[in-house]
Amino acid sequence: MKIGFIGLGIMGKPMVRNLINAGYKVKAYDIVRENLDAAISYGAEEGKSGAEIASECPVVITMLPNSPHVKTVVLGENGVLEGAKSGLILIDMSSIDPNVSKEIGALCAEKGVRMLDAPVSGGEPKAIDGTLSIMVGGEKALFDEMVPILKCMGSSVVHCGDLGAGNTTKLANQIIVAGNIAVLAEALTMVKKAGVDPLVVFEAIKGGLAGSTVMNAKAPMMIESNFKPGFRVDLHIKDLGNALDTAHKVGAPVPITAMVQEMFETLHADGRGSDDHSSLANFYAKVSGTKIGK
C-alpha cells in the first residue's frame, strides 16, 4: 500500500521514516523543501501537492501545525479533497480544535472520504523511536482497519470515540502536561532559593507519588538549563488556546490552564517561543530572580 503523508516537520519526518521502515511506500509533501528532501532521503517519493497525493494514495496522513493549516491542505486549492476519490481514508494526526475536525470530516463525507482524527503525544523522541501515544476519533470499524498503520508510529493506539474525540483527548493531555511542567518549575525554584540542590530533590522524589513521566523528562532539562526543543513553547500555546476555546464552548472551567497559558505567553514575548516547554523554568527565574539550573 502507498500512503500519502503531508507535513514533514519535527514530528512528521520521523513518522514517515517509521512507515517506510515498516514496509509501506510513502509519497510525501511539504512546503518546506528541506523537510521534503529529508523524507526523500529516507526513501519517500516526492509529492507535488495534496491533490496529487490524494489521487494516488488510498490513505493520506496529515501532520500539520494547527486548524487553519489542516483546512487549507484538505479543503483548499490543490488540496486533498480536490484530488480525492470516493473511498479515500484521511487520517489527520495534527493537534487541532476538535470542532474543526468535525467540520472537515463532514465535508470529507460529502465526497465519500472517511476520516479519523488521530493526534499524538510524546514529542520528537517518541516520534523517532515509534512509541507515540495516538488518540483516535472516528468510526470504530475504520479505526480497526487503520490500527496496523498507526502502530508503525505509536506504541499506544486508543480509540477515544467519534470524530473529534481524538483531539479532545489530546487537549486533556496537553492541559495535564502543561500543569505538570509549571508546578515542577515552581517546586524546583523554591528548593533552589531555599538552598537545596534541585538534582538531589529530583532524585529523592521521583520514585514517590510526585513522580511522573513529565518530571523524568523535564526536570533534568531544567537542572541543566537545556531547552533544546522537543516540544516548543509556541506549540503548547497553540494547544492550550484550543483547550481554552473548547472548554469555553462546553462550559468547563479551566482556570489553571488559563494561568499556565499566560506563563507561556510571557516566554513567547521574551523571545523564547522556540524553546522547549520545559523553559517554563525561565518564567520562574524571571519572577523569582533565581535560576534552577546552571
CA atoms of 274 and 241, how far apart (whole Å): 17
Give the position of cell 514496509.
Answer: 23
Count other Cβ atoms within 10 Å, centred on residue 176.
14
Q: Which of 142-151's residues contact partners 24+ apart within 8 Å by CB, and which partners?
A: 142/89, 142/114, 142/116, 143/116, 145/89, 146/59, 146/89, 146/91, 146/116, 149/3, 149/19, 149/24, 149/59, 149/91, 150/91, 150/118
Active-site residue, from 13, 27, 126, 170: 170
Phi-psi region of 56 (alpha: psi -120 to 50; beta: other; left: phi over 0): alpha
Q: Can 170 be counted among the known catalytic residues?
A: yes
Q: What span, in angstroms and rounded, lies between the C-alpha atoms of 27 and 53?
A: 7
* Cβ atoms of residues 132 and 153 within 8 Å: yes
Q: Which residues are registered as beta bridge partners of 115?
A: 90
Catalytic residues: 170
